[in-house]
Amino acid sequence: MSAATKPLPKSVLISESCLQQRIRELGAQIFADYENQELVLLGVLRGSVLFFADLSRAIFSAQLENITREVQIRFEFVQLTSYHNNTQPSAVELIRSGSNYLKQRHILIVEDIVDTGQTLDFLCEHLWTLNPKTVKVCTLLDKPSKRRVPVPIDYIGFEVPDAFIVGYGLDYAQQYRNLPYIALLEST
Ligand code: 5GP
């Protein structure tokens, strides 16, 4: 992609400090909900990686303030891809699945953004075939205006408008994932 055609992140939608503050709150809430239990954080590659890293540390920070209690965290990852053609709605495919360890565990899916809900719906259905104890969902961003499949979400960082979003793990053609904030893309 040449520099001339590459769209630029236009405006900051959620600043770095806002993101980090909200992630601290989510970490404290998740810690309180799972205290003294084992929890598998299941990251959805690749968009959730920065959120996953900060959220897992926020859960640990909450634990530091409660030294008699703890949440034992384990990391697992899945990767999905969705594709479109002219005759069918987009289909989702699993290209990397979690380990056998998910059986009889509490699983918290960590997502970057829920848009139509198709990816999450597909992932939840797949996970239930692995006999987990519980499956909950934490997404950094929720775009409810585009929802096609109703999916339960337990923890939401921010609701966002119907616009294409980049940064903090989210890409445009594999670019901008390393922005420390969430931005909108310039269309021209
Ligand atoms: P869904 O299946 O809910 O429609 O979409 C899930 C995936 O689409 C997300 O995990 C993300 O990879 C991608 N996606 C949806 N909306 C956006 C967006 O505004 N920006 C970017 N970069 N990716 C998005």
User: Which of 73, 78, 139 shows the shortest CA–CA distance to 105?
Assistant: 73
Q: Residues 6 or more apart from 111 whose CB is under 8 A from it?
A: 44, 47, 48, 119, 120, 137, 138, 139, 140
Taking the centre of ligand 1 as the mean of its atom positions, its distance from the CA of residue 113, in whole angstroms, is 6
SS3 content of the chain, % helix, strand, coil (to 5): 30, 35, 40
Compute the residue count for the chain. 188
Residue 70: CATH number of its domain: 3.40.50.2020
Gap between the Cα atoms of 120 and 153, Å rounded: 10
Higher pLDDT, 65 or 53: 53
Ligand 1 first shell, C-beta below 6 A: 47, 82, 112-120, 164-166, 170-171
Read off the pLDDT of residues 146-176 as tens digits, 9 standing for 90 and up: 899 999 999 999 999 999 999 999 999 999 9
Gap between the Cα atoms of 132 and 186, Å rounded: 42
Q: With respect to residue 74, please indicate whether it lies within any of the assigned structural domains.
A: yes
Q: With respect to residue 8, please indicate whether it lies within any of the assigned structural domains.
A: no
Structural domains in the chain (count): 1
Mind spelling out the 3-state secondary structure of 37-75? CEEEEEEEECCCHHHHHHHHHHHHHHHHCCCCCCCEEEE
Q: Are the CB atoms for 30 and 63 separated by under 8 Å?
A: no
Domain range for 128 is 17-163
pTM for the model stands at 0.91
Q: Are the CB atoms for 168 and 49 separated by under 8 Å?
A: no
Taking the centre of ligand 1 as the mean of its atom positions, its distance from the CA of residue 56, in whole angstroms, is 22
Read off the pLDDT of residues 59-108 as tens digits, 9 standing for 90 and up: 999 988 877 889 999 999 999 887 655 444 467 777 777 677 888 999 99
CB atoms within 10 A of CB 48: 25
Beta strands in the chain (DSSP E): 9-14, 38-45, 72-83, 91-96, 106-114, 134-142, 155-159, 165-166, 182-185
Q: With respect to residue 181, please indicate whether it lies within any of the assigned structural domains.
A: no
Higher pLDDT, 141 or 2: 141
Q: With respect to residue 7, please indicate whether it lies within any of the assigned structural domains.
A: no
Q: Are the CB atoms for 10 and 174 separated by under 8 Å?
A: no
The answer, yes or no, to whether residue 118 has pLDDT greater than 70, is yes
Q: With respect to residue 170, please indicate whether it lies within any of the assigned structural domains.
A: no
Mutate to test the pocket of ligand 1, among 42, 78, 112 (most ligand atoms within 8 A of CB): 112
